[in-house]
Amino acid sequence: MKVYLGIDVGTTSIKALAVDASGKVAGSFSHPLSLLAPHPAWAEQDPESWWEGVMSLLRAVPKDMKVERIGLSGQMHTLVPLDKDGKVLRNAILWCDQRTASECEAATRELGGEERVIELTGNPIYPGFTLPKILWLRNQEPEIYGKMATCLIAKDFVAYRLTGEMGSDHSDASGSAMYDVIGRKWNTSLLGALKIDPKLLPPLQSSFEVRGRLRKDLAQQLDWDAAEVVAGGADNAVSALGVGVCQEGDCMVSIGTSGTVLGIAKGGTLPDKSGKLHFFNHAAPDVSYHMGVMLAAASSLNWFKDKMGRDFSWPQVEAGIAAAPIGADGLLWLPYLQGERTPHRDPNARGVLFGLSAMTNEMRVFRAVMEGITYGLRDSFELLKEQTAIRRVLVVGGGAKNAEWRKMLAGNMKVPVAVPVIDEGGAYGAAMLAAMGGGADLTMVKNWVKESSVTEPNETNYAEYDAVYEQFKALYVDLKPRFDAVAALNTRKR
């Protein structure tokens, strides 16, 4: 049986899916990963652990499955520095690492301010992006920086180990802060201004283009007749492809630990000048997308249940939320347990439960928390609507399994909300890219995607949700000075 193998290099695990030519999942495999935190706000992993994990998954594929082509997906922004012989120089610095705030500020200033940076790259420079990590290496670990001959992102390191060929793709390059999203190329003027040698950056391909053949020793070991490896793409982009979100009017809402709202950009769309939305190239050919990110989505709901709702099962919680009224009798939840990215870009924001009374019960709070997360997602959705018309939403992640949450999303976004039959994140989209690397076109692999259910919006709820959403937004504005004041107080105490 010939299959395509999609591999997704995540933060907490690596997942692989074997998919046949019709899009049916023939096998699913996973390998756990651990996170290293040598200092507060640092996040690292040993790239060798990725390779060991990938090899364990390749060996787990049954012998009766012959892998024809491998597609890749992976965590964005991560920096893997390699020497001239392709050897890893230090642990990879991950997307969630926050050590580079001063490098971001200095680079933004040197390039002429944030507005100019957005003109150059389509995005502000965030601490998690790749560029400030390179600058941090230059400032803090000059010996390693001096030995660095190439730097790769996570899935590109795996592709290098599989094929011996170095490269990256446009979707991952988009999140590096060194790339021209409009021109679809490394931004050499930016690199020159910051005195970074362009030779440190690998050549670029489309996500579905073949990077190379499986190394002979691996092909012989696995008996796969030198299967091909395609370039692959960034996890958000490849996940969107995996649920068919790749043309104008499409939107993907992911409700996991964090939350993302990703909408396909219309032709000729420019970056969001305010810097509130990311603007990246898609893994699908000649497509770009806007994306908003909230830092505590389902984790807000899990936090409340773990701390104060342990006596209730999830079916009881869902039934209680469904029975509670919109607005939860005046309760509002600001879901900023870890600060917030879109739209506030505010590390000082914190979670707030507002409107408690003697009549409040747990189910009202559960309702308020779920609504607060939904309003946080709506913040990004409203910004997306300013960039492109949204006709439909595909919702994925753990929150997609909750029927009441889907109703809430539909009522706030005012468009149908669908759930895909196969919700396997980047691994399924990576298998699609593997098929495209062999000649399948985008339409063919999109036909793999089926919807299990569609929730239509209830127009009678629009006005109620709109009224509560306005109060949600106003509460943050009211508390913003207090968030900053408390953060400054705590900083002085440390």
Catalytically annotated residues:
235
Burial (CB count within 10 angstroms: exposed 0-12, middle 13-18, buried 19+), residue 487? middle
Instruction: Yes or no: say if 133 and 102 are a contact pair by the CB < 8 Å rule.
Output: no
How long is the chain? 494
66-74 and 2-9 strand pairing: parallel
Residue 143: CB partners within 8 Å, gap ≥ 6? none
- Please provide residue 111's backbone torsions phi and psi, each rounded to the nearest 5 degrees: -85, 0
In order, the DSSP letters of 183-200 are: TTEE-HHHHHHTT--GGG
> 453: which DSSP letter?
E
CA distance 304 to 279: 33
Burial (CB count within 10 angstroms: exposed 0-12, middle 13-18, buried 19+), residue 282? buried
Residue 344: CB partners within 8 Å, gap ≥ 6? 476
Instruction: Yes or no: say if 315 and 359 are a contact pair by the CB < 8 Å rule.
Output: no
CB atoms under 10 Å from CB of 140, counted, come to 12
Distances (CA, A) of 36 to 43, 49, 128, 493: 6, 12, 16, 27
Instruction: Yes or no: say if 378 and 395 are a contact pair by the CB < 8 Å rule.
Output: no
Instruction: Yes or no: say if 293 and 262 are a contact pair by the CB < 8 Å rule.
Output: no
> 22: which DSSP letter?
T
* 3-state DSSP assignment of residue 164: coil
Tokens of 443: 């339409």
Instruction: Tell me the Ramachandran region of residue 339: left when phi exceeds 0, alpha when psi lies from -120 to 50, beta otherwise.
Output: left
CB atoms under 10 Å from CB of 257, counted, come to 17
Tokens of 308: 């104060």
Residue 110: CB partners within 8 Å, gap ≥ 6? 193, 194
CA distance 213 to 228: 4
Tokens of 197: 């040698």
CA distance 125 to 105: 8
CB atoms under 10 Å from CB of 350, counted, come to 17
With residue 32 as reference, give the H or E element that holds it.
strand 25-32
Burial (CB count within 10 angstroms: exposed 0-12, middle 13-18, buried 19+), residue 27? middle
